[in-house]
């Protein structure tokens, strides 16, 4: 084969080796072959270098010079340039050394370069072959290992190095000696197998195999180590294979003592098992869901209640456990909660319906709470199947109702007949017979009272009792009751005395039921008072409520009975009390009745010194609609309706709104408010939730059901805004909430969001600003010189400018939907262009300031300067 043929063949073969840089030169050092591997390593193409350059192009001149000097000293004659690379190779056939390659992009890489001499068949040198491997990473790893060794003794973990072939330790740090109790010399005579009782040599080598094969760079596992004193410790082992330059690779083994951690894990596992055992044995179902409604867990009771296994439920939407309409609406409930922060059932319990796997719908008690898990909300639902309880309650209710009604008819006949006989309708009775009949008559009346109490309790529990609430004077009801029960006091030689009055006080009550409550108080007081004692009744007016008190001088209420006194069938246990009789239902019924009349019930007592039972009712003061200003069309002022039953608060609201430029009508109850809305046009209304004739929430629903008022802005001014929000649950728009006591600025600012004040004698300013707090501040500062309208963004501003005429525009530059500068073009197109004042948080250039009449920085403008600027720019103040 000729020399050219040999070179071509060599070039083709070498180009196939892309992992190795192969470069061939002629005897003078000019590159003849530059394979694909060399191109990839150095970034040059073969066309750039072949027949044009020597390898000196991509070598460091300093390295060549240093190597040449050393060779010159070794051989005794100058060796430089290309001869530096081939001198030893010619004498020994090949040479392997570490060199630095300089790539085309300037990057330097470390290579292991093998130089081989190529000769002809006659033995003449035909050129040289250089094969290079990139060892940059190996060099870096070597440096890292070297530095790493210097730090090993500072680490508390045990660190070992051992050989892949014999597994013998070559290094152990201080942490290893402390951990195992051996000294360094002892450990260097051992292998990992000597301290790992769980492993055989074959098993341990299998652990190391992925590292040797290059499948993994790190192996981590847990095992146990045997210490010198025989103790067994739990450890976490991390092993890496590290290769040092020019040396065989070593395994680096980091061992962490996890004995305490494993003990803690065992405790946690035992606690988890204990907790799970508790959860699985609780009769209530416990279900957790995430913020999207996806079930995260369910206990055994939950599985039994709904008929699903945990695998069938976990990961699915919890609405699968709900019948319609809650099944379809549940995601909306969650979205509404996330959007408004207003919970519907979180933190409270309620009775709802569940859907069993077999399709059965059944009643459940549901209590939902919220927790945070890993930074995300987690909702915990506790579910109890109350099917059996509802069945028993129904049976009990039906039994009580049936028995009570069945007893009432014959008892009426018995009591009536006994009353006639005892009253002498059949003539004079023998003394002994009269005594026995008198006992029977009294007990028939007691039985009638028991039946009536049972029926009342059943009606209240079932929500079937209808109260006829009417406005009436309180004192006549109290006096009538005192007169009616006077005979009862006579039985116990007890006098009733009215010691304090509150005349002309009106309350909205069911007169019969209120007298029933007062009768219960008076009869109890008589029964528990000593013979010859006096029971006092006091009616006290306390601002907006009236309190009725019944005070006795009996034994008082024992401490252990206080918490149960208003519960059904509750009676003190002493024999002295038992002999007084009674059903134990009177106070429970009284509590329900008073609360349904919007009142409060309670007692005060000192054992051994008597008791005072009392109830409070709201005082009702009759109001009329007051049309305090002329009609809107005449005054030019927006007309507001104030719905408030307290005359003092209604007067306060009227004064505030009048000063703000509104015309005000007042309605003291819901029906009057509806009448006003039907006959007048209002721009907005304020509403108290506690009205004498209906709830404010029901009034809102009626207002929203009418086409004329379905978008009327409603400002809720109440002490019960949270309850109202919960009930409405965001169902209606154009509703704002203000808590009592009323803050004037908050009320005016809230109203201005819906209704701009349009006083006839004030100029109008459009404030384009997305910061609501700043809107309020500016409007407050300038309210005496102008009426303010606000726009939260460019779109709102353009819409208002198209409809309204303004005397001044106060403009912010940074708006949610663009730059405030864009609005200047819209202002130029107006027939009457208002002046513009920029009120922004950023500095403006002189050129920008030339386009507006004033420019102020938000952070540097005193209130007076802002007011002066507004006055200067408004018409009539220039």
Find the DSSP H helices in 282-376: 300-306, 310-313, 326-340
Tokens of 801: 């400018």
Task: Please tell me the CATH superfamily of domain 626-754, with its number.
Answer: Response regulator (3.40.50.2300)
Domain 282-385, CATH among 3.40.980.10, 3.30.450.20, 3.40.1260.10, 3.10.150.10: 3.30.450.20
Could you report the per-residue pLDDT of 797-818, keeping only the tens digit for each? 888 887 778 889 999 888 888 8
> Would you place residue 428 in the very low, low, confident or very high pLDDT band (cuts 50, 70, 90)?
confident
Asked whether 130 and 115 are in contact (CB, 8 A), the reply is yes
Q: Is the pLDDT of residue 6 over 70?
A: no
Q: How far, in Å, CA of 562 to CA of 576, rounded?
A: 17
In the predicted model, what is the mean pLDDT of residues 681-703? 86
Range with the poorest average pLDDT among 184-193, 322-331, 508-517: 322-331
> Would you place residue 400 in the very low, low, confident or very high pLDDT band (cuts 50, 70, 90)?
low
pLDDT for the residue numbered 108: 93
Q: Could you tell me the residue ranges of all domains in the chain?
A: 3-134, 139-263, 282-385, 394-460, 466-611, 626-754, 764-873
* CATH class of the domain defined by 3-134: alpha beta
> Would you place residue 182 in the very low, low, confident or very high pLDDT band (cuts 50, 70, 90)?
very high
In the predicted model, what is the mean pLDDT of residues 332-352? 65
More confident residue, 829 or 473: 473
According to CATH, the topology of domain 139-263 is: Beta-Lactamase (3.30.450)
Could you report the per-residue pLDDT of 406-427, keeping only the tens digit for each? 666 576 567 667 776 777 767 7
- Tokens 């038992």: give the residue: 578
Residue 68 dihedral angles phi and psi, to the nearest 5°:
-60, -40
In the predicted model, what is the mean pLDDT of residues 459-473? 73
Could you report the per-residue pLDDT of 623-638, keeping only the tens digit for each? 433 333 334 444 457 8
> Would you place residue 579 in the very low, low, confident or very high pLDDT band (cuts 50, 70, 90)?
low
Could you report the per-residue pLDDT of 10-56, keeping only the tens digit for each? 556 666 667 889 999 999 999 999 999 999 999 999 999 999 888 88
- Say what percent of the chain tops pLDDT 70: 81
Q: Is 241 helix (H, G, I), strand (E, B) or coil?
A: strand
> Would you place residue 404 in the very low, low, confident or very high pLDDT band (cuts 50, 70, 90)?
low
More confident residue, 478 or 840: 478
**Arithmetic mean of pLDDT over the chain:** 82
In the predicted model, what is the mean pLDDT of residues 575-585? 57
In the predicted model, what is the mean pLDDT of residues 262-276? 82
According to CATH, the topology of domain 764-873 is: Rossmann fold (3.40.50)
In the predicted model, what is the mean pLDDT of residues 126-149? 83
* CATH class of the domain defined by 466-611: alpha beta
In the predicted model, what is the mean pLDDT of residues 595-603? 88
Three-class secondary structure assignment of 465-491:
CCCCCEEEEHHHHHHHHHHHCHHHHHH
Residue 538 dihedral angles phi and psi, to the nearest 5°:
-130, 135
Q: How far, in Å, CA of 301 to CA of 321, rounded?
A: 14
pLDDT for the residue numbered 340: 58
> Would you place residue 333 in the very low, low, confident or very high pLDDT band (cuts 50, 70, 90)?
low
Q: Do domains 139-263 and 764-873 have the same CATH topology?
A: no
- Tokens 């009392």: give the residue: 614
Q: Give Cβ neighbours of residue 194 (< 8 Å, ≥ 6 apart).
A: none
pLDDT for the residue numbered 500: 93
Q: Give pairs for 13-19: CB < 8 Å, separation 24+.
A: none
- Highest average pLDDT, of 75-89, 592-606, 764-778, comes from 75-89
Rounded (5°) CA angle 205-210-212: 75
The distance of Cα 846 from the centroid of its chain, to the nearest Å, equals 48
Q: How far, in Å, CA of 553 to CA of 557, rounded?
A: 11
Rounded (5°) CA angle 536-542-548: 30
Q: How far, in Å, CA of 780 to CA of 773, rounded?
A: 11
Cis preceding linkage at 741, omega within 30: yes
pLDDT for the residue numbered 167: 92
Pick the closest to residue 724 from 342, 276, 453, 199 (CA basis). Answer: 342
Q: Is the pLDDT of residue 153 over 60?
A: yes
Q: Annotate 13-36 with b (16+ C-beta within 10 A) or e (fewer).
A: ebbeeeebbbbbbbeebbbbbbbb
More confident residue, 348 or 220: 220
Q: Give Cβ neighbours of residue 665 (< 8 Å, ≥ 6 apart).
A: 625, 626, 627, 628, 639, 640, 641, 642, 676, 680, 682
Q: Is 15 helix (H, G, I), strand (E, B) or coil?
A: helix
More confident residue, 145 or 492: 492
In the predicted model, what is the mean pLDDT of residues 108-117? 93
Q: Is the pLDDT of residue 66 over 90?
A: yes
In the predicted model, what is the mean pLDDT of residues 538-555? 91
Whether this model's pTM surpasses 0.75:
no
């Amino acid at each position: 084969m000729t020399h050219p043929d040999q070179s071509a063949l060599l070039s083709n073969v070498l180009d196939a080796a892309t992992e190795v840089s192969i470069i061939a030169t002629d005897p003078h050092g000019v590159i003849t072959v530059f394979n694909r591997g060399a191109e990839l390593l150095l970034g040059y193409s073969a066309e750039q270098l072949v027949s044009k350059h020597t390898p000196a192009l991509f070598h460091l001149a300093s390295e060549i010079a240093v190597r040449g000097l050393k060779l010159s000293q070794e051989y005794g004659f100058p060796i430089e340039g290309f001869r530096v690379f081939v001198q030893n190779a010619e004498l020994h056939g090949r040479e392997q050394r570490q060199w630095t390659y300089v790539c085309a992009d300037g990057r330097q890489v470390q290579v292991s370069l093998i130089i081989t001499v190529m000769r002809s068949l006659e033995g003449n040198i035909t050129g040289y072959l250089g094969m290079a491997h990139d060892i940059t990473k190996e060099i870096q790893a070597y440096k890292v290992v070297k530095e790493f060794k210097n730090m090993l003794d500072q680490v508390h973990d045990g660190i070992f190095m051992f050989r892949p072939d014999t597994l013998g330790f070559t290094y152990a740090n201080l942490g290893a000696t402390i951990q195992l109790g051996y000294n360094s010399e002892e450990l260097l005579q051992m292998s990992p197998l000597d301290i790992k009782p769980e492993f055989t040599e074959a098993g341990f080598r299998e652990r190391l195999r992925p590292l040797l094969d290059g499948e993994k760079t790190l192996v981590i596992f847990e095992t146990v180590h045997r210490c010198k004193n025989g103790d067994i410790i739990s450890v976490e082992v991390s092993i890496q294979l590290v290769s040092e330059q020019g040396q065989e690779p070593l395994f680096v083994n980091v061992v962490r003592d996890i004995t305490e951690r494993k003990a803690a894990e065992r405790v946690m596992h035992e606690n988890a098992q204990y907790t799970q055992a508790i959860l699985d044995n609780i009769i209530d179902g416990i279900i957790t869901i995430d913020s999207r409604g996806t079930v995260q867990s369910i206990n055994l009771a939950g599985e039994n209640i709904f008929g699903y296994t945990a695998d069938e439920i976990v990961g699915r939407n919890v609405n699968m456990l709900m019948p319609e309409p809650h099944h379809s609406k549940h995601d909306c409930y969650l979205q509404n909660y996330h959007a408004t922060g207003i919970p519907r059932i979180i933190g409270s319990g309620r009775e709802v319906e569940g859907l069993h796997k077999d399709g059965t719908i059944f009643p459940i008690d549901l209590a939902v709470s919220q927790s945070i898990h890993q930074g995300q909300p987690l909702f915990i639902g506790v579910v109890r199947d109350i099917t059996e309880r509802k069945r028993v309650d129904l049976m009990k209710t039906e039994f009580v109702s049936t028995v009570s009604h069945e007893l009432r008819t014959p008892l009426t006949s018995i009591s009536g007949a006994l009353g006639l006989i005892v009253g002498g309708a059949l003539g004079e009775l023998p003394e002994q017979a009269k005594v026995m009949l008198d006992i029977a008559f009294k007990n028939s009346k007691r039985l009638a009272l028991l039946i009536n109490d049972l029926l009342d309790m059943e009606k209240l529990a079932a929500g079937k009792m209808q109260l006829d609430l009417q406005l009436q004077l309180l004192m006549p009801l109290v006096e009538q009751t005192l007169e009616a029960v006077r005979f009862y006091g006579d039985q116990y030689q007890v006098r009733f005395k009215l010691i304090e009055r509150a005349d002309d006080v009106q309350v909205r009550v069911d007169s019969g039921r209120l007298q029933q409550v007062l009768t219960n108080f008076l009869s109890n007081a008589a029964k528990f008072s000593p013979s010859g004692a006096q029971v006092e009744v006091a009616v006290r007016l306390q601002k907006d409520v009236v309190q009725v008190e019944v005070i006795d001088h009996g034994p008082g209420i024992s401490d252990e009975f206080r918490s149960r006194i208003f519960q059904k069938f509750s009676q003190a246990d002493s024999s002295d009390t038992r002999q007084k009789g009674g059903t134990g239902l009177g106070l429970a019924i009284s509590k329900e009745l008073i609360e349904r009349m919007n009142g409060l019930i309670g007692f005060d007592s000192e054992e051994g010194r008597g008791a005072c039972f009392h109830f409070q009712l709201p005082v009702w003061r009759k109001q009329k609609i007051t049309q305090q200003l002329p009609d809107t069309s005449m005054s030019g002022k927006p007309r507001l309706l104030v719905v408030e039953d307290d005359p003092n608060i209604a007067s306060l609201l009227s004064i505030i709104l009048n000063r703000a430029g509104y015309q005000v009508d007042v309605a003291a109850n819901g029906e009057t408010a509806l009448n006003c809305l039907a006959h007048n046009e209002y721009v907005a209304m304020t509403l108290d939730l506690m009205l004498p004739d209906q709830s404010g929430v029901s009034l809102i629903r009626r207002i929203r059901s009418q086409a004329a008022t379905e978008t009327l802005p409603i400002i809720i001014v109440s002490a019960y805004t949270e309850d109202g929000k919960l009930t409405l649950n965001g169902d209606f728009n154009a509703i704002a909430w203000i808590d009592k006591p009323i803050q004037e600025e908050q009320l005016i600012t809230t109203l201005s969001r819906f209704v701009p004040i349009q006083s006839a004698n004030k100029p109008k300013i459009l404030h384009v600003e997305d910061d609501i707090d700043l809107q309020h501040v500016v409007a407050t500062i300038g309210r005496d010189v102008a009426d303010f309208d606000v726009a939260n963004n460019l779109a709102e501003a353009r819409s208002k400018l198209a409809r309204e005429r303004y005397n001044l525009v106060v403009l912010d530059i940074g708006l949610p939907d663009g730059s405030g500068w864009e609005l200047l073009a819209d202002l130029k197109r107006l027939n009457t262009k208002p002046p513009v004042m920029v009120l922004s948080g950023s500095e403006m250039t002189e050129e920008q300031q030339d386009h507006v009449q004033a420019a102020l920085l938000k952070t540097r403008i005193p209130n007076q300067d802002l007011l002066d600027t507004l006055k200067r720019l408004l018409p009539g103040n220039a």
